[in-house]
Amino acid sequence: MSLPTTPSQTVGPFFHLGLDPLNQGNLAGLRGTGDVMTIQGRILDGDGEGVSDGLIEIWLADSQGHYSHPEDRGGTTGGEVFRGFGRISTGSSGFFRVAVPKPGPVAGSEGALQAPHVVVTVFARGLLKQLITRIYFPDEAANATDAILSRVPAERRSTLIARRVAGAENLLEWNIILQGDGETVFFDF
């Protein structure tokens, strides 16, 4: 038996009413922490204007590279575990900031590991369905062999890799460009 999926519809401009209660932008200090990285940036539209009514959800493994989910055979669930979920609504100018313990390398295909990354889901008024992308970390040797990054045309790969902010330790910058020059790579799985 096969049922057709329910169509997606936009979150609209008033999602804060229903979704803000579970907002969580600071995942540091929770169990499973390693180095804490702060990632900040803006969501920009096709005119380069900030998207001030956007919502991002992040999903990441713990510092050992395990997800708090029953299908991660090395992971654990229940009790005091690192949930790995964050949700942030953008402020004026489309700005967002999250603090996360840096995830470890995650199981990939054929015994290979994936480079450390954060999965990002983007919602906004004007997005009829969510966009999914990833944040990779700079100066990470494993990026060169990551199976997902290597599927991305070389000239667009940099849209997925956060940049260090000069003079600030453990502060990274990463923008989400919805449309136009430097458009972020979004995935279909």
Partner 1 sequence: MKLTSNVSGYSHPAPGTQPDYLYPAYAATRKRAPRHPLTLVPQTLSEIAGPVFGHSDIGENDNDLTCQHECEPLGQRIIVTGQVLDENARPVPNALVEIWQANAAGRYRHNMDDHPAPLDPNFTGCGRLLTSAEGRYRLITVKPGAYPWKNHHNAWRPAHIHFSIFGAGLLTRLVTQMYFPGDPLLTFDPIFNSVPDASARLRLVSSLDWDAAVPGEALGYRFDIVLRGRESTPWRNE
Interface with partner 1 (CB under 8 A), residue from 131, 135, 161, 162:
131
Which residue type sits at 97? R
Distance CA 113, CA 63 (A): 14
Shortest Cβ 136–partner 1 spacing (Å): 12
**17 or 166: CB nearest partner 1:** 17
**129 or 165: CB nearest partner 1:** 129
Stretch that binds partner 1, among 32-40, 70-78, 92-100, 137-145 (CB under 8 A): 70-78
Which residue type sits at 41? G
Quickly tell me which residue has 């979704």 as its tokens: 19
Identify any residues that bridge with 120 across adjacent strands, giving them in sequence order: 58, 133
Distance CA 122, CA 133 (A): 8
Distance CA 66, CA 82 (A): 9
Distance CA 121, CA 130 (A): 6
Shortest Cβ 75–partner 1 spacing (Å): 8
Interface with partner 1 (CB under 8 A), residue from 142, 152, 173, 175:
152
Interface with partner 1 (CB under 8 A), residue from 113, 142, 164, 175:
113
**110 or 139: CB nearest partner 1:** 110
**22 or 168: CB nearest partner 1:** 22
